[in-house]
Structure 1
């Protein structure tokens, strides 16, 4: 049947519409399939029937909802939509709109003091100025409001949002102690609520709602991409075929994280373009790192946008926020204790009668400037205990709880097991013999809890503690035995209710003493953390799952995630260990096995662990890599070939690449991108920098096709590096500067470091030695912090060359020796750093225009020859290097000449000159002039060949 509710026209129309909207949302929470219509206007009762234009519109709307709407729809007429637009999310429809949800800002701060807003006027003015600056001057701001529990952070935020008015859109994200370890524990529920998605809703319906919200601010083809990856964030499934970008991301956790971050940034950009945006994070001390890191990336990229992030946190959160936001300016507003005069005004107002000065003074003295404490002390005074006021807020709360009936206290303790928010049905599960409803009503009247206007779970009434301290105090009074039993029951109820947060459920099972039930949940959460690039959390969750007793293939998958996270953190030896353990537990050739094998190859290459590399290589040569092979197999082939080139195992790289199918780029650009990249490195090792650049350019295009902007950015670095190798320094400089900005916007620290490494040498060779040295030193510092030995050694080698170009040969020698010390044994970079050191030593002992070393420097010349011989021998043993062959051959010839072994020097330089001309033929006529005249080792080789020919012994 149909039920008609009317609200008498007492008060402003906006207030009436607000009350009706909240009632409709509460009704939908209790009855998710009901349809509701809200209209505003004149009506009259005639014979027990409501008549008039408002009633007629409501009837027409109900007919429309019944025939064309969906269960749970709340229709509103245009007049109501206009009244609700600032405080509720409404979605246009024919002849009106649909009410989706209440804006989070409307319910910001579960505790509202009845007294005046006093003592924080200065902080409010400062915050308002920062928000105005962000929104009016289009300059994104990050603000951190810190204060002890109960200091009034939420109240201050409410006053601020009231002052900024209706112009900016307000998003509010809520931290929770139980979901602090859940990747996107704040962002996921916000996105679902923002789109009006309810639990139990079909995937198609939920996806449609999300798509509509995105389409309301985003234009063009980006709508589908942004929706697709926001759906991954919000755990909303999509029916129908997937895009290539999503399919590629599902094979690569890092790519998935990049795509989700990009989608959120683009959504925030579009939202703040349509209307200035203020994002408030409540209880930031309980925020999850994944959400905060995504928000930090958005603010960094959208620096020139009308955007403001306001975090409300306890003081201990400051260090983590500052560390995460790095060099971004974080404006901190510290809430000190309220001044005494303000506390006196507030206490007098809250007491609501004519208290004595002595009574007010005692309350204010005990409160210590904490507004929440002061309110609780006022309650204690009103209850007749003013002569013995407690000395701490915990004592106040304990006294207040003790004044409640025993069953009400028991209900509170059970509710606290769920956290700050809980559900009536869940409490009934925990307390089957208790009249939960009546005790909740009593707690509501006592202003300890409040009923939420909406619920996360369909058909369940949701309640919230008015302050986190109330839930914390209740939980602290729960006996350990009861606590375990309650957590187990809460976990089971939440799973049945549709809770999808794996870390939250695992937390309940672990606290309930059922670790086995938490293993799968923790494993899923660890993989989600890996996608979110919250690598430390991924490792922590993996370790928790292992401690809970994970075994077999499940343990193998957990170790594969752990290995990948450690690799990205630069913990390469530990990554190899986890990957090798995973390979022994996982099904050969499975997706997880291929991921672990990739880490074993990559981290093994970086640590020169040839046994780990060999183990994977042997298995790889038996793997199906034909036209119909799984994507995981082909990606592993490409990754393995790249690492084998870096190790100098060129024959093995050739055997691997020979097994890849032709024509792959037409079927799967994502797979083709990796294989093009592998072939590019092999071309460079063969001495063809032009082909290297061309293949890297095609690889970048293929990565971009599947939305893999991280790897496209890496390829742009490699394309610019090819210009360095060809002596085209101006092209290299413009390309590297552009890619540094690109990598910074994507938050790719490692890629930025490689770009600065190449920019340093390009600047120096173009004559800008001071700028080049600064860039190279920054790269050295970054590689050292990442623990990347190969790139650290290479960067130190470039720095030694730059210092030599500046004429500081003593510093160049010291740096060159560091480079050799850092380079892994029997690696291509070892050969390059040895040749680089030998070259610096030769500059110290051979005068300009001369060939032989001065007699007094014979010992140094012999040392230079020793290093040059070692580099040459290593080059021959490896069969080639990815860069530096010309330097190695030229330096060896120079060293022979320096010690007077002229015939041997002529033979060596002949080989070196032959290789220079051979490579020059390969690069093509358009590149030959720069390649021969501007690449230092090529210039030195050809000049030495001519000098030795003309030398009269």
Structure 2
């Protein structure tokens, strides 16, 4: 019968089939296929789709979306929902967010079992969180949170979106409660990859909130859950490595280790074919390269992530902010201003105060570089207000404000602001992000206010810490690290002031 259909040119033999050992046929034209399909009775269509799904499963077919569609049309809706979940996860990992949303929604429409239903909600909340679409993310999160058991795979899946939404909506108590639960709860074994992502996200935010002890505890926890599976699970391994890299950067820790770990994270995600993870790791590479003084590499690495657009969640505007910092360091103020305007526009359009805070901070830096100190101070003050829920970043903006106040000759104001920065760093259990800049503005403000002895003491301590950190770096990176503007200024002032004091 098949041969007769071939002779009549209804179907044709495939030259290269998908199933080794089988002879395969296809319709000569899509219209013939559709016509044959419409001639089937509804009962036969349902049976045909069920038989197709069974055959594809037995043959080891790897496309969950195709299996899900056959099962859905075959009215096996519970199993269709499970395969739509796999298809949505596959699309999310491949960064096809539109497909991930469409497949997850179809899975929900199938009336999937509770565990699958909750996991589908987790996928949808994660996609919308990456897009910074907080209203949509919260819609799915609110439904899921009423039903989830902490530690379960569906619960773990929602955690990164939950804490991201909480921080953007100012729900810091809820965020900290979620992170602490994540730290302590027993995790479902099948959810280790998602748990590693959740813990890495928790560490990222804990550090930005200045909760370094909690960030350190989360680092230990992500090691604990990830290291037993790290060799066979490159995604879990990549999130552990990313968490370590960002932690070294936020805490002004071991920058060489941070760079190597960020590079390892990118390699892990590339191995897994997880594009978004590799971009997150590449932003970490650019961030640490900048802190090491390798501005050309930082510009290249960060620039290569720009085509990813704004669908990286908070990493999107961290990346843009870092790009602007690098451009300012390179003296490319025109390009820095253009990036700042774009970043601010996106923040206003998406109604994300934190993104606007980063953009105002960046704009204040550009304006200071251009010599417009009045406008720079105004933007810095706005940034400080917008960054109220991110103490680590707010302190950086305050350090910039102190330098602006000093530049306009208001030494008392500059010293008051610098003391706030110094007090924040003293409260933390680690040096904190850009600790050398904090020391520098404190020392210069003290000196301008006539407190020369105090200024010399601060600058001497800053110099000793810088030289110790430089000594720990490979020789090829020491010069670049010490040539970073704030580091070079610390070294220069220490020579002048300490020589004068002696």
Same fold (TM over 0.5): yes
Residues 945 and 586 of structure 1: CA distance in aligned 2, closer, same or farther (over 3 Å): same
- Provide the secondary structure at the position in 1 that maps to 2:26: strand
Matched, 1:612 2:174: yes
2:241 corresponds to? 676
Residues 785 and 235 of structure 1: CA distance in aligned 2, closer, same or farther (over 3 Å): farther
Higher mean C-alpha deviation, range 533-542 or range 934-943: 533-542
- Provide the secondary structure at the position in 2 that maps to 1:648: coil
2:159 and 2:312 mapped to 1: Cα distance?
24
Structure 1 position 724, deviation (Å): 1.3
Residues 200 and 527 of structure 1: CA distance in aligned 2, closer, same or farther (over 3 Å): closer
Matched, 1:720 2:286: yes
Structure 1 position 632, deviation (Å): 3.9
Matched, 1:949 2:498: yes
Q: Deviations over 1:864-883 (max 9, x none)?
A: 22222222222233434763
Query: What does residue range 84-123 of structure 1 map to in structure 2 within 5 Å?
Result: 91=16, 99-104=25-30
Higher mean C-alpha deviation, range 576-585 or range 589-598: 576-585
Structure 1 position 703, deviation (Å): 0.9
Residues 525 and 867 of structure 1: CA distance in aligned 2, closer, same or farther (over 3 Å): same
1:202 corresponds to? 55
2:64 corresponds to? 232
Matched, 1:865 2:430: no
**253, 271, 285: which one aligns with 1:705:** 271
Query: What does residue range 721-736 of structure 1 map to in structure 2 within 5 Å?
Result: 721-736=287-302
Query: What does residue range 11-50 of structure 1 map to in structure 2 within 5 Å?
Result: 20-22=8-10
1:831 corresponds to? 395
Q: Deviations over 1:445-469 (max 9, x none)?
A: xxxxxxxxxxx99xxxxxxxxxxxx
1:199 and 1:942 mapped to 2: Cα distance?
72
- Provide the secondary structure at the position in 2 that maps to 1:666: coil
**896, 917, 931: which one aligns with 2:467:** 917
2:363 corresponds to? 799
2:42 corresponds to? none
- Provide the secondary structure at the position in 2 that maps to 1:202: helix
- Provide the secondary structure at the position in 2 that maps to 1:908: helix
Matched, 1:648 2:198: no
1:604 and 1:938 mapped to 2: Cα distance?
36
Matched, 1:593 2:159: no
- Check whether the contact 2:209–2:389 (CA below 8 A) recurs between aligned residues: no
Query: What does residue range 525-544 of structure 1 map to in structure 2 within 5 Å?
Result: 531=92, 532-534=96-98
Matched, 1:895 2:432: no
- Check whether the contact 1:631–1:671 (CA below 8 A) recurs between aligned residues: yes
- Check whether the contact 2:129–2:313 (CA below 8 A) recurs between aligned residues: no
1:4 and 1:607 mapped to 2: Cα distance?
65
Structure 1 position 943, deviation (Å): 2.5
Query: What does residue range 346-365 of structure 1 map to in structure 2 within 5 Å?
Result: none
2:488 corresponds to? 939
Structure 1 position 903, deviation (Å): 2.7
Q: Normalization by structure 1: what TM-score? A: 0.44
1:37 corresponds to? none
2:329 and 2:256 mapped to 1: Cα distance?
19
**757, 760, 767: which one aligns with 2:324:** 760
Residues 690 and 5 of structure 1: CA distance in aligned 2, closer, same or farther (over 3 Å): closer
1:436 corresponds to? none
Q: Deviations over 1:517-538 (max 9, x none)?
A: 9x979x9699679845239967
1:782 corresponds to? 346
Matched, 1:690 2:256: yes
Structure 1 position 833, deviation (Å): 0.8
- Check whether the contact 2:259–2:285 (CA below 8 A) recurs between aligned residues: yes
Matched, 1:740 2:290: no
Greater helix share, 1 or 2? 2
1:699 and 1:581 mapped to 2: Cα distance?
33
1:840 corresponds to? 404
- Check whether the contact 1:673–1:699 (CA below 8 A) recurs between aligned residues: yes
Structure 1 position 832, deviation (Å): 0.6
Query: What does residue range 61-140 of structure 1 map to in structure 2 within 5 Å?
Result: 75=13, 91=16, 99-104=25-30
Residues 630 and 757 of structure 1: CA distance in aligned 2, closer, same or farther (over 3 Å): closer
Higher mean C-alpha deviation, range 592-601 or range 674-683: 592-601
Greater Rg by CA = 1
Residues 617 and 676 of structure 1: CA distance in aligned 2, closer, same or farther (over 3 Å): same
Q: Normalization by structure 2: what TM-score? A: 0.78
- Check whether the contact 2:302–2:319 (CA below 8 A) recurs between aligned residues: yes
Greater strand share, 1 or 2? 1
Residues 809 and 831 of structure 1: CA distance in aligned 2, closer, same or farther (over 3 Å): same
Residues 202 and 98 of structure 1: CA distance in aligned 2, closer, same or farther (over 3 Å): closer
- Check whether the contact 2:85–2:119 (CA below 8 A) recurs between aligned residues: no
- Check whether the contact 1:756–1:778 (CA below 8 A) recurs between aligned residues: no
- Provide the secondary structure at the position in 2 that maps to 1:100: strand
Residues 674 and 529 of structure 1: CA distance in aligned 2, closer, same or farther (over 3 Å): closer
- Provide the secondary structure at the position in 1 that maps to 2:9: helix
Structure 1 position 910, deviation (Å): 2.8
1:709 and 1:200 mapped to 2: Cα distance?
30
- Check whether the contact 1:760–1:775 (CA below 8 A) recurs between aligned residues: yes
- Check whether the contact 1:680–1:696 (CA below 8 A) recurs between aligned residues: yes
Structure 1 position 607, deviation (Å): 4.4
- Check whether the contact 2:267–2:278 (CA below 8 A) recurs between aligned residues: yes
- Provide the secondary structure at the position in 1 that maps to 2:403: helix
- Provide the secondary structure at the position in 1 that maps to 2:273: coil
- Provide the secondary structure at the position in 1 that maps to 2:184: coil
1:529 and 1:98 mapped to 2: Cα distance?
27
Residues paired across the two proteins, number: 478
Unaligned 5+ segments in structure 2 are 36-48
**130, 146, 153: which one aligns with 1:568:** 130
Residues 710 and 697 of structure 1: CA distance in aligned 2, closer, same or farther (over 3 Å): same
Unaligned 5+ segments in structure 1 are 7-16, 26-73, 76-88, 111-195, 209-227, 237-455, 458-493, 503-516, 846-859
Residues 107 and 897 of structure 1: CA distance in aligned 2, closer, same or farther (over 3 Å): farther
